[in-house]
Amino acid sequence: MAVFDWALARARTFTVWDWGALKLCLFSAGLLVAKLVPGVLGLAWYWYALVFAITYVWVMVRMFGKNA
């Protein structure tokens, strides 16, 4: 898809500082959602741990996998 190809091409030019700014932006967006939608924080702790574990494994496989 053309949009994803464009975004991927742009992301390949990111520096460490750009990735850091993106992470801070996403973290801030998560805090904003938590502030505006209080029900999000009402979930049990293990749901957050499950999301963390799945995304952590995904990133590690992509980073250290054979096709990396």
**Per-residue model confidence (pLDDT) at position 40:** 84
> Rounded to an integer, what distance in angstroms lies between the CA atom of residue 10 and that of residue 16?
14
**Per-residue model confidence (pLDDT) at position 57:** 94
Q: 16-68, pLDDT tens digit by residue?
A: 999 999 999 999 999 999 899 988 888 899 999 999 999 999 988 988 887 65
Tell me the pTM: 0.65
**What SS3 class is residue 43?**
coil
40 contacts 34 by C-beta, under 8 angstroms:
yes
